[in-house]
Copies of this chain bind each other. A is one copy, B any other.
Amino acid sequence: MTAAPARKSRQGRRARLQAQSAAAPASPAGFTRGIPYYNFLDEQSLCRLEAQADWLLEEIGIRFQGDEQALQRWREAGADVQGDIVHLPTGLARHLCKTAPTEFTQLARNPERNVRLGGRHGVFAPAYGSPFVRCAEKGRRYGSLEDFHNFVKLTYLSPWLHHGGGVVCEPCDIPVNKRHLDMIYAHLRYSDKPFLGAITLKNRAEESIEMCRIAFGAEVMEHHCVVMGNVNTNSPLVVDKVASEAMAAYAAANQGMIIVPFILGGAMGPVTTAAGLAQSLAEAMTCVAYTQLVRPGAPAVLGSFLSSMSLKSGAPTFGMPEPVMSNYAYGQLARRLGVPTRFGGALTASKLPDAQAAYESADSLQSTMLGGANYILHSAGWLESGLVMGYEKFILDVDRLGYMQRILVGMASDDNALARDAYREVPVGKHFLGCGHTMANYKTAFYDAQLSNSESFEQWTEEGAEDAVVRANKKWRRMLADYVPPELDPGIDEALQEYIAKTKSSRADAWY
């Protein structure tokens, strides 16, 4: 452990926490939902899905592959472990989830950006994990550390993204076994929003947590969540050792764990939506339960990522009816379990930020809003089924996140909203443009979408007849040109760089 840097951290924390960025807008630290959930499934259907999840866990079981410590924990918890397949008696997983917090706070480096997850509270975070990036000028190419920095900066500057996400793109120019260090550093250095750590190997998870100890102080982390991991199960019904060890590492450190079964219907689960949904509940609930075996009370998020399949190509499709319905229903299932949930995002199979991308992304995103997701990863930038992080797509998506958040606030119907004075002032048939009520309210009455052009055809033509992608391109270039990094305590910065240099020098480069 790195006690000296942690001390430095404590000394600088107050100044650091009070520092305000000169560049990033005062964005809300997450959203708080003021509108009802969309309750898609009836009670009977929900009970059937829950019973199916129980049946799966008891009869079929779930494999914890190659992780003897996990199997031992399950034996001690009362599961019937046969080989590496864990059979959970009905109700055990649900019971163990009871110690997971219904809501929790993840601290940010800037306390004004601390976020609350669970219940009516949630966040939007950018897309995660693409090896490629795309922009209008250079097209599609492998992501680099420079691209990674750019997306961390753009996320920092975007008021409608509350969470930094994690692997905003793969920095493919950095060795695989070292890039997590550069990624965590970038989140800490170029942003002050909360973020996700590495999960791709046990030591990478631990090193992510260690870097957070340097930045936040070890004792803060004993009592607060400052970093989370986002882990996929290996559906159907398998949790591999990398995943279970990452869960154990984060939970043991009292840090958050988001567990997300990725189920492509017809491949990693049955082709019918209800089956995929119940399987997702079974897998994710078991993993949340597992974090509670490691450390009761550790924060955990119940995730789901269901995709439909193209009959033409067998490829996953996004923004389609079946996963959207799943999202509505998964929110209901998560609320009944009492654990924060993650699903959805601005998902698309399109290769370009075109109409296909926008239709699919919009329809996918709206189900997160109405279904009640708390942690919404892949909210901005996602293209090509997740293979590509798009610069222009990122900007366009963020604008619609503002739209979503306006709806999440809800609609006022108080006296000011009903505007009786306006009707008394304006004669029947006359317009309301200059009346007192309009003047008092117009600035806040409507969401001001930055990327939507509503000018006349003539004016738009005069200004260059730019489509949405051209406008988005200009916007991200301007944002990066104007970017000013948030302050970071020099002592912490030095300690982080020291830690990274030491850790990097301790191993040879690995490229796969």
Q: Which residues of A contact B (CB under 8 A)?
A: 35-36, 38-42, 45, 48-49, 52, 55-56, 59-63, 65, 85, 140, 234, 236-238, 265-275, 278, 308-322, 324-326, 329, 349-363, 366, 370, 384-385, 387, 393, 396, 399-400, 403-404, 406-407, 410-413, 416-420, 422-424, 426, 428-433, 435, 437-438, 441-443, 445-449, 451-457, 459-460, 465, 467-469, 472
Q: Which residues of B contact A60 (CB under 8 A)?
A: 423-424, 428
Contact of A351 with B418 in the complex, beta carbons under 8 Å: no
A416 and B48 alpha carbons, distance in the complex (Å) = 12
State A468–B45 Cα separation when bound (angstroms). Answer: 37
With A454-B317, A454-B349 already in contact, the answer to whether A236 and B272 are too (CB < 8 A) is no
Residues on the B chain within 8 Å of A469, using CB: 354-355
A413 engages B456 (CB within 8 Å)? no
Most buried by B among A275, A317, A456: A275
Contact indicator A428/B62 (Cβ below 8 Å): yes
A250 to B273, CA, bound (A): 46
How many Å from the CB of A271 to the closest CB on chain B? 4
Apart from A271-B446, A274-B412, A350-B452: 18 A-B pairs, beta carbons within 8 A: A45-B411, A236-B430, A272-B419, A273-B412, A313-B455, A316-B454, A317-B449, A320-B403, A320-B446, A320-B452, A326-B411, A351-B465, A355-B358, A355-B469, A356-B468, A358-B358, A359-B399, A362-B363
- Contact check, B358 vs A362: say whether CB atoms are below 8 A apart: yes
Q: List 30 A-B contacts (CB under 8 A).
A: A38-B370, A41-B411, A45-B413, A49-B413, A52-B420, A61-B428, A238-B428, A265-B445, A266-B432, A267-B432, A270-B422, A270-B435, A271-B419, A273-B445, A274-B412, A275-B417, A275-B419, A275-B422, A317-B454, A319-B452, A320-B447, A325-B411, A349-B454, A350-B452, A351-B457, A355-B358, A356-B453, A356-B468, A363-B403, A370-B370
* Shortest CB distance A82–B (Å): 11
What is the bound-complex CA distance between A458 and B495, given in angstroms? Answer: 44
CB A238 to nearest CB in B, in angstroms, measures 5
> In the complex, which residue of chain B has the Cβ closest to the Cβ of A408?
B321
- Does A352 lie within 8 Å of B457, measured CB to CB? no
The distance in angstroms between the C-alpha atoms of A273 and B365, with both chains bound, is 23
The answer for the CA separation of A36 and B371 in the assembled complex, in Å, is 13
Q: Contact: B140 with A457, CB < 8 Å? A: yes
Copies held by the complex: 2
- Closest B residue to A311 by CB, please name it: B448
- Asked whether A354 lies within 8 Å of B355 as measured between CB atoms, the reply is yes
Contact between A329 and B411 (Cβ–Cβ < 8 Å)? yes
What's the nearest-Cβ distance from chain B to residue A423, in Å?
Answer: 5
Q: Could you tell me the distance between the alpha carbons of A209 and B140 in the complex, rounded to whole angstroms? A: 57
- Shortest Cβ distance from residue A469 to the other chain B in the assembled complex, whole angstroms: 7
Residue contact A311 to B446, C-beta cutoff 8 Å: yes
With a CB–CB cut-off of 8 A, which chain B residues contact A360? 452
The interface residues of chain B lying within 8 Å CB-to-CB of A384 are: 457
The smallest C-beta distance from A396 to any residue of chain B, in angstroms, reads 5
Chain B residues contacting A370 (CB-CB under 8 Å) are: 38, 370
The answer to whether A40 and B49 have CB atoms under 8 Å apart is no
Docked-complex contact A411 and B236, CB < 8 angstroms: no
* A358→B364 CA distance, assembly (Å): 13
Check A311–B442 contact: CB distance below 8 A.
yes
Task: Please report the C-alpha to C-alpha distance between residue A59 and residue B39 in the assembled complex, in whole angstroms.
Answer: 39
A406 to chain B, nearest CB (A): 4
What is the bound-complex CA distance between A446 and B313, given in angstroms? 13
Interface centre among A59, A358, A359, A452 (most CB of B within 10 A): A359
Contact of A451 among B63, B356, B435 (CB under 8 A): B356
CB-CB < 8 A to A266: which residues of B?
432-433, 438, 442, 445
Contact A315 B455 (CB under 8 A): yes
Cβ-neighbour of A446 out of B38, B308, B412 (below 8 A): B308
Which residue of the partner chain, among B325, B410, B437, B455, contacts A407 with CB atoms under 8 Å?
A: B325
Bound complex: CA of A453 vs CA of B309, how far in Å? Answer: 12
Smallest CB-CB separation from A437: which chain B residue? B270
Cross-chain contact of A355 among B273, B315, B396, B438 (Cβ < 8 A)? B396
B275 touches A418 (CB 8 A): yes
Once the chains bind, are A456 and B315 in contact (CB under 8 Å)? yes
The closest CB in chain B to the CB of A61 belongs to: B428
